[in-house]
Amino acid sequence: MTELDPGARRAILESCDALREESVRLLERLVRCPSTLGNEASALNEMARIYEGLGLAPQRVPVEVEKLRAHPGFSPPLVSYDGRDNVVAVHRPRSATGRSLVLQGHVDVVPEGAADEWTTPPYEPAIRNGRMYGRGAGDMKAGIISYVTAFRALKEAGLQPAAEVQMHAVIEEECSGNGALACMVAMPPCQAAIIPEPGPGLPAMYSAEVGVVWAFVTVTGRPAHVRDKQAGVNAIEAAMAIWSRFEAYEREMNRAEHIHASFRGVNHPVNVNLGTFDGGEWNSSVATRARLGLRVGVMVGNSADRVRADIERIVDAARDDAALKGAKVTVEFRGFHADPCVFDMEAPIVKLAMRSYAEVTGGDLRQYPATGLTDGRFFQLYQGTPVACFGPDAQEIHGIDESVGLDSMHDITRSIALTMAEWCGVEALS
Residue 13 or residue 210: which is nearer to Zn ion going by CB? Answer: 210
Contacts of 327 (CB under 8 A, 6+ apart): 219, 220, 221, 222, 233, 235, 238
Rounded least distance, CB 48 to Zn ion, Å: 20
3-state secondary structure of 189: coil
Looking at the chain, the number of H-run helices and the number of E-run strands are 11, 21
Per CB under 5 A, which region of 112-120, 160-168, 190-198, 262-270 contacts Zn ion? 190-198
Cα–Cα distance for residue pair 329/123, rounded to 1 Å: 38
- Which is closer to Zn ion, CB of 143 or CB of 425? 143
CB closer to Zn ion, 271 vs 285: 271
Site string for Zn ion, 192-221 (x = CB under 5 A): -----x------------------------
Q: 167 and 44 in contact (C-beta within 8 Å)?
A: no
135-152: burial string, b at 16+ Cβ within 10 Å, e else = bbbbbbbbbbbbbbbbbb
At closest approach, how far in Å is the CB of 65 from Zn ion? 23
User: One symbol per residue from 325 to 364: x for binding Zn ion (CB under 5 A), - otherwise; what is it?
Assistant: ----------------------------------------
**Minimum distance from CB of 180 to Zn ion (Å)?**
11
Q: How many residues contact Zn ion, by CB under 5 A?
A: 3
Minimum CB–partner distance for residue 223 and Zn ion (Å): 41
- The C-alpha atoms of residue 256 and residue 234 are separated, in whole angstroms, by 37
Closest CB 72 distance from Zn ion, rounded Å: 22
Task: Please say whether the beta carbons of 122 and 80 come within 8 A.
Answer: no
Residue type, position 153, single letter: A
Q: Which of 109, 140, 148, 272 binds Zn ion (CB under 5 A)?
A: 140
Stretch that binds Zn ion, among 50-58, 132-140, 361-369, 377-385 (CB under 5 A): 132-140
* Candidate segments 49-57, 84-92, 138-146, 307-315, binder of Zn ion by CB under 5 A: 138-146
Strands, E assignment, 333-416? 337-338, 341-342, 366-370, 387-391, 393-395, 403-405
Residue 313 Cβ vs Zn ion, minimum distance, rounded to whole Å: 31
Strand partners, 111: none
**What does the DSSP 8-state code read for residue 98?**
S
Instruction: Output 375 or 401, the one with its CB closest to Zn ion.
Output: 375
Nearer residue to Zn ion within complex by CB, 249 or 343:
343
389: three-class secondary structure by DSSP: strand
Pick one of 40, 85, 112, 139: the residue that binds Zn ion (CB under 5 A).
139
Q: Which positions lie near Zn ion, rule CB under 5 A?
A: 139-140, 197
